[in-house]
Amino acid sequence: KSIVLFASGSGSNVENIVNYFENNSNVTIAGVLTNKRDAKVIDRCNRLKINALYFNRQAFYGSDCVLEIVRSFNPDLIVLAGFLWKMPNNILENFPEKIVNIHPALLPKYGGKGMFGMNVHKAVRENNDVETGITIHYVNENYDEGAIIYQAKTIVLPDDSPEMIAEKVHKLEYEHYPSTLEKLLAPKT
């Protein structure tokens, strides 16, 4: 089985997923694609000896170039880990039910355009929510709206800052994203 990852930022989830599957000979990380030339995830990939490929907006939305690269890896899953651009239709159409994202909140709360990273945790803080969490879901043509695969929750304390909430949520991501992917890749019985 093989996974292609998309990331735009730090890539701590990418690193965690790579480490998780390192000792699983049934799952290969075929490569990491990024839309940010200077994303920290590229340094991580160099260190982890994983292919990292950069693409620009034109290649993604104006050609089949990224689609063809993904196809060449023949992935069983396409995994978004902090990837901030909307998936174009050509990729969505060619990989139905195979594209998965993680969102740092309990969708349908705090989803949609502009709701990423610290924006989400600040909104949770401002609304005085008593819990937050992660949502792993399939990707469709709308931000954060595909079918939900898995959610996990954590408590928000009255004194938690957005940064502290972010840390709790990241911990949940590290704990649950790779194992959920592993389940999705397991042969159906």
Q: Is 31 known to sit in a ligand binding site?
A: no
Task: Tell me, by CB under 6 A, how many residues bind ligand GRF.
Answer: 15
In the block, residue with structure tokens 């008593």: 130
Q: Is 90 known to sit in a ligand binding site?
A: no
103 counts as catalytic = yes
| 3-state class (DSSP) for residue 124 | helix
* Helix pair angle (12-21, 40-48), 10° resolution: 20
CA 120 – CA 128 distance, rounded (Å): 13
CA 165 – CA 182 distance, rounded (Å): 26
User: Distance of CA 135 to CAs 73, 100, 145, Å?
Assistant: 26, 10, 11
Question: How near is the Cβ of 180 to ligand GRF at its closest, in Å?
Answer: 13
Nearer to ligand GRF, 13 or 132 (CB): 13
CA 112 – CA 128 distance, rounded (Å): 20
Angle CA(13)–CA(30)–CA(79) in degrees, nearest 5? Answer: 40
What string marks each residue from 111 to 150 as x (binds ligand GRF by CB under 6 A) or -? Answer: -----xx---------------------------------
* Active-site pick, 103, 121, 137, 176: 103
Question: How near is the Cβ of 161 to ligand GRF at its closest, in Å?
Answer: 16
What string marks each residue from 17 to 56 as x (binds ligand GRF by CB under 6 A) or -? Answer: ----------------------------------------
CA 187 – CA 106 distance, rounded (Å): 28
Does 13 participate in binding ligand GRF (rule CB under 6 A)? yes
Buried b (16+ CB within 10 A) or exposed e, 28-43: ebbbbbbbbeebbbbe
Question: How near is the Cβ of 26 to ligand GRF at its closest, in Å?
Answer: 23
Question: How near is the Cβ of 38 to ligand GRF at its closest, in Å?
Answer: 14
The residue at minimum Cβ distance from ligand GRF is 82
Residues taking part in catalysis: 103
Binding-site residues for (6R)-10-formyltetrahydrofolate, please? 57, 101
Binding site for ligand GRF (CB under 6 A): 7, 9-13, 81-82, 102-104, 116-117, 170, 173
